[in-house]
Every structure is written in C-alpha cells, then in structure tokens.
Structure 1
Amino acid sequence: MRVTVFGGTGAIGRLVVQRLLDDGYQVTALVRTPAKLALTHPRLTVITGQLSDAAAVGEAVAGADAVISALGPSLKRSATGTPLTEGTRIVVEAMEARKVTRFVGLATPSLADPRDKPHWKHRVLPVMAGLLFPNALADLKGMTRAVTDSGLDYTLARITNPTNRPAAGRVRAGFLGHDRVGSAMSRADIAAFLVSQLTDTRYRRAMPAISN
C-alpha cells in the first residue's frame, strides 16, 4: 500500500512515517524542510513543497492508496490566519481529483462526533481552547470541517494531551459519554493508532476520541 503523509516533520508525523516504513508501507511525505525529517529509506519518497502549493500536494497524492495527516495548528498566541484549513482543503481537492478516498488524521475533543453523548469535555475544552489558543481552535475547526464535509472515507482521531512517554501499546478509543476514554496518550501510540486505521474499518467516517 502506498501512503502519503502530511505533517511528517512534526513530533507525531515523524513517528507516523517511521511506523509506516517499519510496517512495510511505501511512503511519500510532503515537507517544507526535508532536513527536519532526518530520515532516508528505500521506500520513502520526500517531496519538498508547501501545503499551500496545489501542484506539490497533487504530486504527493498521485498514486496513493491513502493519506495520513499528522498536521496540527500552531499554539503560538501570535499566530494568525488558518493555514491548515486552507491546506487541508487543497489536500481534499487533490484526493478527490485523483480518486484517493481514505483519509486518516487528527482532531480535538473540543469538536463533537454525532455518536457522542453529553460530556464535560464538550463544555470545558472549547472554552479553555478559545481563551488560550483561539486561532489554533479556529484552524482546527476549519481543518476538520474541510474533511467531514467532503465525500472522503475519513477517520479523525481526537486527541487531548499528547505526551512524549514511551509507547504503552494499549489504546482506548470510542465516543465521549459512551466509552471510557481518558486524556493523555503517548505520541508513539497516537502514531500507531493512525497507521492502524489504514486497515481497521470500525471508525470509518467517524471521529473517535483516543487515549492510553
């Protein structure tokens, strides 16, 4: 299977790329700065380009069987604009034009899935994020909507508190108010979950919350 990765130089993205290669996938990564990926492999193709460059995004998506996005917004309070929203729209358009349907990415419990029941995270997290990181929340909302409003076969994993702890090898996944899902999760386990969704059909067109 050929998988295209966006956000491959981030803390989770690098782990996603490595996990894919370890599992035998053919990987294409679109990155702005290849040196940040710090990885070479016979099954890894690195394309240098911006997420805003439709031609580069199209080149990265061409021939893929699936896309994994490890993109996340800037948490700097000085950040402005919604680059991830615009970039994700470009990715979605490129996928639809090339008939690539499977999209796996990240989201936040600040946004509800229709399968959720009322939960404290629905009340608390949007308020906290709106106060501390209003621009990041707006970009996350737009990025998520670009995917969920499309016809793509998506899974968006909602994460709350990613950590740098070693992989625990166990995952809780489900819907708020239904399933026992916590908040903290190692980035290594997040990456493993994203890769697992390439072949797992339980959360198609859904946004499961995940934790350790």
Structure 2
Amino acid sequence: MRVTVFGATGAIGRLVVQRLLDDGHQVTALVRTPAKLSLTHRNVTVVTGQLTDRDAVEEAVTGAEAVISALGPSLKRSETGTALSEGTRTLVEAMAAQKVTRFIGLATPSLADSRDGPHWKHKVLPVLAGVLFPNALSELTSMTDAVTGSGLDYTIARITNPTNGPATGRIRAGFLGHDRVGSAMSRGDIAAFLVSQLTDTRYRRAMPAISN
C-alpha cells in the first residue's frame, strides 16, 4: 500500500515508517529537514516542506492510499501559535483535493469519543492539560476537529503515557468506561497499532483509547 506519513522524524513517526517498510508498504514522508529522517530505503520517498505549505502537502499525499499522522503539539508551556492546527486543516484539504480518504492519527483521552462511558480521565485530564499545557490542548482539539469534521474515513488513537520501552505486542484498544484500557504504552506498540489500522475496520470514524 502507498502510505504518506506526517511527523516521520518524531519518536513515534520513525517507528511508524520502519513498521510500514517491514510490512512491505511504500512510504512517502513530508519532512522539514530530510537529514533528520536518517533512513534510506528504496520504498521511501521524501518530500521536503512544512505542514503549512499547501503545495508540499498536496505533493506528499498525491497517489497515497492512506495517510498516517504521528504529529502532536509541543508540551512546552511557553509554546504559542496554531501552526499544527492550521497545518492539519491544510492536510485535510489536500487529501480531499487528491481524493485520499483514509486518515490515521493520534490524540489523547483529554478528548472524548461519543462511544465512551463515564470515566475519571474525562474529568481529570482536560483540567490538567488546560492548566499545564493550554496551547497544546487547544492545538490538539483544533487538529482533531479538523479531521473528525471532514468527510475523511478516520481513526484517531488516543494515547495517555507513551514510553520508550520495547514493543510488547500486547495492545488494548476500546472506549473509556466500557473497555479495559490503561495508560502506559510503548511507542513501538503505538506505531504497530497505527499501521494495523490500514486494514483493521473496527475503529473506522472512531477515536479508540489504546494502551499496553
């Protein structure tokens, strides 16, 4: 499958790219600094540009069968601006223009899915995020709204505590208040879940929470 990856030079994005290659997919990555990808492979095409560059984004998604976004906002309290949310809107528009419908991305349980039941995370996490990371929460909310409010066939995985431990292959997914989903999850397993959604239809147009 031809898959375009955004956030390919990040901690999770690198693992997504490697997992895709291991599974035999063709990857296109939009990156600001190609040297940071530190990967050369005959099945990788690199497009240089920023998320806010409409031409570069449209070039990256042209011919894709799916998009995986490992993008997330900075957790620095000093961070300001709306570059990620604006860029996500650009991405959604480019996908529509190129008739690419499948989107797989990331969020946190600070944002609820309509399938969730009552859960402490809905009460605690938005308050904590609003106090500690107000710009990150605002960006994440706007990014998610841009995707879920579009006509895209999306799956957005909600993660709480990504870790650097090795991939375990043990993945729990579901909806808060109904399914047994914890908080910690290795980045390798997060990447594996995102890639698995290329063929798994259980969470189409949904935002499952995932953990180990």
| TM superposition score category, shorter chain reference | over 0.9
In structure 2, give the amino acid aligned to 1:165.
G
Q: Distance in 2 between matches of 1:207 and 1:2?
A: 23
Cα deviation per residue 1:26-50 (whole Å; 9 max; x = unaligned)? 0000000111110010000011101
1:26 corresponds to which residue? 26
2:81 corresponds to which residue? 81
TM-score, length-normalised on structure 1? Answer: 0.99
Q: Distance in 2 between matches of 1:85 and 1:92?
A: 11
1:166 corresponds to which residue? 166
1:140 corresponds to which residue? 140
Q: Distance in 1 between matches of 2:72 and 2:111?
A: 15
In structure 2, give the amino acid aligned to 1:210.
I
1:116 corresponds to which residue? 116
Could you say what secondary structure the match of 1:21 adopts? helix
Could you say what secondary structure the match of 1:154 adopts? strand
In structure 1, give the amino acid aligned to 2:211.
S
In structure 2, give the amino acid aligned to 1:166.
P
Q: Distance in 2 between matches of 1:151 and 1:114?
A: 17
1:192 aligns with 2:188: no
* Superposition deviation, residue 83 in structure 1: 1.2
Q: Distance in 1 between matches of 2:82 and 2:106?
A: 16
1:15 corresponds to which residue? 15
TM-score, length-normalised on structure 2? Answer: 0.99
Moved >4 Å (runs of 4+): none
* Superposition deviation, residue 84 in structure 1: 1.1
* Superposition deviation, residue 82 in structure 1: 1.5
Q: Distance in 1 between matches of 2:96 and 2:59?
A: 13
Cα deviation per residue 1:148-192 (whole Å; 9 max; x = unaligned)? 000000000000000000111110000000000000000000000
Q: Distance in 1 between matches of 2:84 and 2:186?
A: 23
**Which structure 1 segments of 5+ residues have no match?**
none
Could you say what secondary structure the match of 1:194 adopts? helix
Taking every aligned residue pair, what percent have the same amino acid on both sides? 83
Could you say what secondary structure the match of 2:4 adopts? strand
What RMSD in Å do the two structures reach over aligned CA positions? 0.4
* Superposition deviation, residue 88 in structure 1: 0.6
In structure 2, give the amino acid aligned to 1:104.
I
* Superposition deviation, residue 3 in structure 1: 0.2
Cα deviation per residue 1:50-91 (whole Å; 9 max; x = unaligned)? 100000000000000000000010111111012111011011
1:69 corresponds to which residue? 69
Could you say what secondary structure the match of 1:91 adopts? helix
1:6 corresponds to which residue? 6
